[in-house]
Amino acid sequence: MITTPTPPVLDIQHLHKEFRLRGTGRDRVLTAVDEVSFTIHAGQTVALVGESGSGKSTIARCITRITEPTSGDVLVEGRSIIKMPSRKLIDIYRSLQMVFQDPNSSLDPRKTARATLDEPLRLHTSLTSHQREQRIRELLAEVDLSDHLIDRLPRQLSGGQRQRLGIARAMAVDPRIILLDEPTASLDVSVRGQIIRLLERLQENKGIAYLFISHDLGVVRRISDRVLVMYLGTIVEEGPTEEVFTHPVHPYTQSLLSAAPLVEVGRRRERVRLAGEIPSPVDLPAGCRLVGRCPVATTACATTEPSLLNVTGSHRAACPVALDMQQVPST
Amino acid sequence: MATNVGPIYDPPSLAHPFGTDRLGDDILSRTMSAATLDVSITVAVVLLSVTVGTVWGSVAGFFGSWFDYLTMRILELLNAFPSLLLAMLVIAVAGPGLLNVVFVVALLPLPDYVRLARAEVRSKKNWQFAEAAKLVGRRPVGVLFAHLVPNSLRPLLTYASVNASQVAATVGALGFLGLGIQPGSAEWGSMISRGQDAILSGQWWVAGFPGLMIFLLAAAFHLISDAIADSRDQGGSW
Ligand SMILES: Nc1ncnc2c1ncn2[C@@H]1O[C@H](COP(=O)(O)OP(=O)(O)OP(=O)(O)O)[C@@H](O)[C@H]1O
Ligand code: SF4
Ligand SMILES: [Mg+2]
């Protein structure tokens, strides 16, 4: 893990996103991301984990302004992008790139590998066409795609090759940070490992920071420096990866991390499981979002929404009850 | 114009394979020189209509808002008029002439092209490759014309080749009604019109061969559209 005194490459402050759902009668509000804050430093990998629908993709889409956030701020290398007019965003996209989950739909079906990689080079650099051609071949080599694929259309490539091309496209402008939204989820299990190793190697060589969204906790544990655990639009626990994986504090993290839904809570060695299903993010009630599913909930949980509290160092969890249990000396 | 003057109303023979007309002009050579005009008018009309329709429809579909609303109202208005009648009316007012014919006939299928392009772009504008193009550094207009329009062309071109056969027939019909380029110029529609009396007196070839040509041209465009549809089935890049 690299920590630097320079401003973080990505600084997310109170990011908030609501979707208005038009229905019969009054409009209802779906809170997809609720006041989320975190930072990513140069060369760091921060993982974002959590159940489907917890708002991970929405965070990535708000950071790139593919989706406009409702409120909050996003700073890329210290520059706020939220109020930036969209024609100025092109400068930001030189530092900030994204790899999409599904390369089948994120690559233009009518553009060859060459044309796909030429586009960012043409728009962001003043390279001559000869220099661009050279750079395209370098990029292909960097992602282990052989030269003879240069004139292929996406449908003439395999799934893994397509995702390599998607990664090369993101790398073309030498960004400081890449958002990876489940970059291997659409791929065959056999090629997932290769893509992860490629991403690790690119990071080592270039010092890029990653926001890594994934359901694969094994990979998260292996490649990320920090992990953010999301539940219904909020971060419920965050900290150094090993720390969170070995000492999960929040009941939700504990249930997420255990292969079976049976976990140990704090030092009480009590086996618990979350009851019921993830509730709807529409018209969220006051209090902790886990109330009703949480085995250790108290009456206070239903009224006050817990905020992130320090566990140790930069490890924080949004559950006062579990934190109290942590402090109980072992007997 | 190479007119090979021979005996008047001569039936098809080796010397005049399509026969001659009431002035003794060779119908084969008149038909052939008319071909250039009819084919170029048809192609010009289709190109004009498909280009304007694609740009208009895709901009409306992509940017939406008031421009899209206005577009839809205009299309409804255009739809309310029977097309050939509209064309005849406009030419009757504006007068015949090459450009008038091209513009008026191009107006007829325009609503179809606008609607097709609009629907294609609307269905694709939230696709991830359009979002990815934004991150690559494209402005909205660039996303539209560099990515969405090229990916919307296939149905438009398929329709264009079907439409071309209708256009060929419309151009012929206008010529027949004396609303074509200009009276006297060799053009299939007007040749049929001038040969119609001869049919009653038994000289079928005067109107028959230009009529056959219109049919063949329309058929040729149909074959092209079939070919495009086939290549689509086989996953061709179009
Ligand atoms: N355009 C939209 N309109 C309305 N609701 C939306 C929209 N996009 C996302 N949502 C809702 O926002 C919530 C968060 O969705 P999001 O896609 O960010 O989840 P996720 O954590 O990425 O899930 P997954 O793991 O399945 O990818 C979901 O409840 C989803 O239904
Ligand atoms: S705050 Fe209460 S309900 Fe929420 S996780 Fe902690 S104990 Fe459970
Ligand atoms: Mg997602």
Q: How many domains does chain A have?
A: 1
What value does the mean pLDDT take over residues A38-43? Answer: 94
Q: Residue A257 falls within a domain, yes or no? A: yes
pLDDT over 80 (residue A240): yes
CB-side exposure of B234: number of CA atoms within 13 Å? 6
User: Which superfamily does CATH assign the domain made up of B27-233 to?
Assistant: MetI-like (1.10.3720.10)
pLDDT of residue A86: 84
CA A99 to chain centroid, in Å, comes to 11
Question: What's the mean per-residue pLDDT of chain B?
Answer: 82
Q: How far is CA B129 from CA A115, A120, A214, A277, B139, in A?
A: 13, 13, 21, 34, 14
Q: Indicate the pLDDT class of residue B1, thresholds 50, 70 and 90.
A: very low
- State how far residue B123 is from chain A, nearest Cα, in angstroms: 13
Q: Residue A329 falls within a domain, yes or no? A: yes
| pTM over the 0.80 mark | yes
Question: Which ipTM value was assigned to this complex?
Answer: 0.81
How far away, in angstroms, is A168 Cα from ligand 3 center?
Answer: 21
Question: Does residue A62 belong to the interface with chain B, where contact is any CB pair within 8 Å?
Answer: no
Is the C-beta atom of A55 inside 6 A of ligand 1? yes
pLDDT of residue A273: 66
pLDDT over 80 (residue A3): no
Question: Dihedral sign, CA of A59, A61, A67, A71?
Answer: positive
- Which residues in chain B have Cβ-Cβ distances shorter than 8 Å to A93? 135-137
* Distance from C-alpha of A305 to C-alpha of A26, rounded to nearest angstrom: 26
Q: Residue A166 falls within a domain, yes or no? A: no
- Give pairs for A260-265: CB < 8 Å, separation 24+: A265/A295, A265/A296, A265/A322, A265/A325
Q: Do A66 and B131 touch (CB under 8 A)?
A: yes
- pLDDT, one tens digit per residue, over B46-91 is 999 999 999 999 999 999 889 999 999 998 888 777 777 877 788 8
Is the C-beta atom of A318 inside 6 A of ligand 2? no
Is the C-beta atom of A294 inside 6 A of ligand 2? yes
Q: Residue A126, Cβ neighbours under 10 Å: how many? A: 7
Closest-approaching ligand to the CA atom of A254: 2
What value does the mean pLDDT take over residues A169-191? Answer: 92
Query: Which of A328, A322, A310, A304 minimizes the C-alpha distance to A250?
Result: A322
How far away, in angstroms, is A256 Cα from ligand 3 center?
Answer: 17
Is the C-beta atom of A157 inside 6 A of ligand 2? no
DSSP conformation letters of A120-159: HHHHH----HHHHHHHHHHHHHHTT--GGGTT--GGGS-H
Sheet containing A96-99: order of strands: A96-99, A177-181, A209-213, A45-49, A226-231, A234-240, A315-317, A309-312
- Which residues in chain A have Cβ-Cβ distances shorter than 8 Å to B131? 66, 100, 106
* Distance from C-alpha of A172 to C-alpha of A205, rounded to nearest angstrom: 14
- pLDDT, one tens digit per residue, over A262-316 is 344 444 444 456 777 777 777 677 788 888 788 888 888 888 888 898 888 899 9
Is the C-beta atom of A266 inside 6 A of ligand 2? no
* Distance from C-alpha of A323 to C-alpha of A325, rounded to nearest angstrom: 5
Q: Do A102 and B128 touch (CB under 8 A)?
A: yes
Query: Which of A140, A138, A111 minimizes the C-alpha distance to A127?
Result: A138
Query: Which of A252, A218, A268, A249 minimizes the C-alpha distance to A313?
Result: A249
Residue whose Cα lies nearest atom 31 of ligand 1: it is: A53
Question: Does residue A64 belong to the interface with chain B, where contact is any CB pair within 8 Å?
Answer: yes
Give the start-to-end residue ranges of the domains of chain B: 27-233
Domain that holds residue A316: 247-331
* Distance from C-alpha of A311 to C-alpha of A244, rounded to nearest angstrom: 10
Query: Phi then psi for A285, rounded to 5 degrees?
Result: -75, 170
What value does the mean pLDDT take over residues B161-173? Answer: 82
Residue whose Cα lies nearest atom 1 of ligand 1: it is: A19
Query: Which of A259, A321, A330 minimizes the C-alpha distance to A296?
Result: A321
- Which residues in chain B have Cβ-Cβ distances shorter than 8 Å to A173? 137
What value does the mean pLDDT take over residues B3-29? Answer: 77
* Distance from C-alpha of A132 to C-alpha of A127, rounded to nearest angstrom: 6
What value does the mean pLDDT take over residues A10-16? Answer: 95
pLDDT of residue A269: 41
Q: Yes or no: say if A50 and A256 are a contact pair by the CB < 8 Å rule.
A: yes
